């Protein structure tokens, strides 16, 4: 296969983008749709002090949870940490800062970051200061809204079913979840794809993420963890 | 939470009575996930999952699981005819826009005003709100399925929630192992009771004032 845009590469080549103290955004929901090969690479490289942005902290040995449960993160911005007991433990001990955002608002904050908007106005979660504390309020058309800031990251990591040479992506069933949003919000977006196909072999009508948002594509070695239901 | 499968099914069956053909329904984990088993066969309901499924079907047979087709709790599901996938932003667009007809969820406490506290026990359990705030605030109808009392025997239906709120004034219907309460601006209305409980038993285990319906339905299933 050609590599006309130079986007198709290897895990070894993209590992240079993962550095201590960086902000890393990840696709996935409970580990489903999180890129296993890239996460294993980051873990092996020994990257520390990460700020992680994504739906949840996975399970201890599933998805991004692998990094969280091994103490590689100093901060997470997520909607849920309940399936990874290590995250809760470290939060209570003070070694992990957790910023909770309601799930759909988190998705919109990531989307805003990806579509060039500075933030969104929301009416979700006014009954809990975890959501509203320290955030500006805006009155619009007689109603109050909280300003939720957009989220971006130095690097976004994404899991796709298929990618072509240009980085056009399609996803697999519920493994899509936050991936199309995360793919747009990274300064550098790195995709792990189950299958890499030549230009023109994806039906343009079925492409979910246009390749303009994608910088690099690496082949997936497949899921390297055991699911909770197995 | 200490509730036998028969009781869990009883609550699920009562909740299923609220669901009509063509509705979009979001189910929480636990007892709410039993609700589809109690729906009439001649209606079609689109079950919605926060992780981007509209038209979610039952669990697959053992050996037929697809790791990329799971519900919001991370367990394998199937897709029904007419079902579709979307990203998380679109899944929550459906919720915030008010398209989801019913959300059925569990709770730690519910107040007489319909305040819902189901996401945090300060200092003990802080899992995060997930999608609960959007669902509680924006679904057309919020149904809570829960034990009437907590493990220590204290009422979970109270005047004022002691736990931090998920959302205020959002619950429409409370179904417990003892009774069914309708929530309105006037407070709670006791309209149905499960056999063999009587009014005195129900009221003694309820932590707030309750109005009595003119006729109280006795549910014997």
Q: Give the residue-averaged pLDDT of B104-118.
A: 96
Mean pLDDT (whole number) for A79-83:
96
Quick one: pLDDT at residue B2?
Answer: 66
How many domains in chain A? 1
Percentage of residues in chain B having pLDDT higher than 70: 99
Name residues 98-117 of chain B within 8 A of A (Cβ): 115
A106 vs A149: CA distance, rounded Å: 10
Of A107, A123, A124, the CB nearest to B88: A107
Q: Find the CATH number of the domain harbouring A94.
A: 3.40.1080.10
Do residues B180 and B174 make contact, with C-beta atoms less than 8 angstroms apart? yes
Catalytic residue selected from B18, B50, B134, B215: B50
Whether A179 is in a domain gets the answer yes
Report yes or no on A126 lying in a domain: no
Average pLDDT of chain B, as a whole number: 96
3-state secondary structure of A107: helix
Write down all domains in chain B, each with its CATH number in brackets.
5-219 (3.40.1080.10)
B165 touches chain A (CB under 8 A): yes
Question: Is the Cβ pair A83, B87 closer than 8 Å?
Answer: no
**What is the structure's pLDDT at B106?**
95
List Cα–Cα distances, B195 to B8, B10, B138, B219, in angstroms. 14, 11, 33, 6
| Position B166 pLDDT exceeds 70 | yes
Determine, for residues B131 and A32 on separate chains, whether the beta-carbon distance falls below 8 Å: no
Task: Tell me what pLDDT residue A2 has.
Answer: 92
Digit-coded pLDDT (tens) for A124-169:
999 989 999 999 999 999 999 999 999 999 999 999 999 999 999 9
Sorting pLDDT into bands at 50, 70 and 90, what band is A103? very high
Residue A92 covered by a domain: yes
Q: Are B140 and B128 in contact (CB under 8 A)?
A: no
What per-residue confidence (pLDDT) applies to A1? 84
pTM assigned to the model: 0.96
**In-domain check, residue A54:** yes
Whether B87 and chain A come into contact, CB under 8 Å, resolves to yes
> Do the domain assignments include residue A2?
no
SS3 A33: coil
Domain assignment present for A178: yes
Give the model's pLDDT for residue B125. 84
β partners of residue B25:
B47, B102
Q: Of A74, A133, A114, A122, which Cα lies nearest the Cα of A98?
A: A74
Q: Is A3 contained in some domain?
A: no
- pLDDT, tens digit (0-9, with 9 covering 90-100), for B168-213: 999 999 999 999 999 999 999 999 999 999 999 999 999 999 999 9
Dump pLDDT digits (tens) for A8-20. 999 999 999 999 9
Query: Searching chain A, which residue's CA lies closest to the CA of residue B91?
Result: A104
What number is the ipTM of this complex?
0.97
Structure confidence at residue A50 (pLDDT): 98
Residue B1 pLDDT > 80, yes or no? no
Query: Cβ of B197 under 8 Å from any chain A Cβ?
Result: no
In a domain, A164, yes or no: yes
Q: At what angle do helices B88-96 and A103-114 cross, to 10 degrees?
A: 120
Q: What's the half-sphere exposure (Cβ side, CA atoms, 13 Å) at A221? A: 10
Residue B187, token pair as written in the block: 């407070």
Residue A52 Cα, gap to closest chain B Cα (Å): 15
Mean pLDDT of B4-31: 96
Which chain B residues contact residue A80 at CB under 8 A?
Answer: 127-130
| A183 touching B (Cβ < 8 Å) | no
Look up B18 and say whether it is catalytic.
Answer: no
Residue A35 belongs to what domain range? 11-116+151-219
B189 touches chain A (CB under 8 A): no
Element (H, E) at B91: helix B88-96
- Backbone phi and psi for residue B138, each to the nearest 5 degrees, phi listed first: -120, -15
B68-80 pLDDT tens trace: 999 999 999 999 9
**Banded pLDDT at B123 (limits 50, 70, 90):** confident
The share of chain A scoring above pLDDT 90, in percent, equals 98
- Rounded to 5 degrees, φ, ψ at A108 are -70, -35
> What is the per-residue pLDDT across B183-194, written as a single tens digit (0 to 9) for each?
999 999 999 999
- Which range in A110-114, B3-7, B28-32 is most confidently predicted, on average pLDDT? A110-114
């Amino acid at each position: 296969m050609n590599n006309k845009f130079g986007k198709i590469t290897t895990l070894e080549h993209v590992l240079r983008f993962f550095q201590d103290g960086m902000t890393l955004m990840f696709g996935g929901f409970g580990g489903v749709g999180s890129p296993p090969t890239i996460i294993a690479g980051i873990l092996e490289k020994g990257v520390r002090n990460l700020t992680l942005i994504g739906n949840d902290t996975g399970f201890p040995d599933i998805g991004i949870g692998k990094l969280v449960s091994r103490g590689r993160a100093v901060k997470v911005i997520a909607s849920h940490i309940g399936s990874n007991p290590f995250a809760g433990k470290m939060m209570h001990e003070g070694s992990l800062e957790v910023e909770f955002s309601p799930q759909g608002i988190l998705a919109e904050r990531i989307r805003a970051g990806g579509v060039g908007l500075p933030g969104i106005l929301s009416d979700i979660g006014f009954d809990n200061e975890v959501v509203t504390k320290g955030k500006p309020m805006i009155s619009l058309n007689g109603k109050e809204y909280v300003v939720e800031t957009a989220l971006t990251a130095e690097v976004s990591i994404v899991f796709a079913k298929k990618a072509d040479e240009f980085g056009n992506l399609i996803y697999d069933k519920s493994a899509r979840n936050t991936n199309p949003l995360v793919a747009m919000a990274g300064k550098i977006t790195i995709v792990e794809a189950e299958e890499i196909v030549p230009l023109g072999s994806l039906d343009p009508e079925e492409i979910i993420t246009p390749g303009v948002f994608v910088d690099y594509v690496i082949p997936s070695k497949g899921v390297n963890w055991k699911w909770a239901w197995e | 939470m200490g509730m036998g499968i028969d009781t869990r099914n009883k609550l699920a069956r009562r909740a299923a009575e609220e669901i009509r053909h063509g509705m979009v329904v979001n189910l929480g984990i636990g007892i709410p996930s039993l609700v589809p088993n109690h729906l009439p066969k001649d209606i079609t309901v689109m079950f919605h999952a926060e992780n981007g499924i509209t038209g979610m079907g039952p669990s697959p047979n053992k050996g037929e699981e697809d790791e990329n087709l799971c519900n919001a709790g991370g367990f394998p599901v199937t897709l029904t005819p007419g079902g579709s996938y979307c990203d998380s932003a679109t899944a929550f667009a459906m919720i915030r826009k008010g398209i989801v007809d019913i959300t059925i969820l569990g709770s730690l406490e519910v107040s007489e005003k319909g305040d819902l506290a189901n996401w945090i026990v300060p200092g003990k359990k802080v899992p995060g709100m997930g999608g609960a705030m959007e669902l509680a605030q924006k679904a057309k109808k919020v149904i809570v399925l829960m034990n009437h009392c907590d493990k220590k025997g204290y009422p979970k239906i109270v005047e004022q929630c002691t736990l931090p709120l998920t959302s205020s004034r959002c619950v429409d219907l409370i179904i417990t192992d003892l009774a069914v309460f309708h929530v309105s601006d006037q407070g709670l209305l006791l309209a149905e009771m499960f056999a063999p409980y009587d009014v005195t038993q129900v009221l003694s285990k309820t932590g707030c004032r309750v109005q009595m319906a003119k006729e109280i339905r006795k549910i014997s299933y």
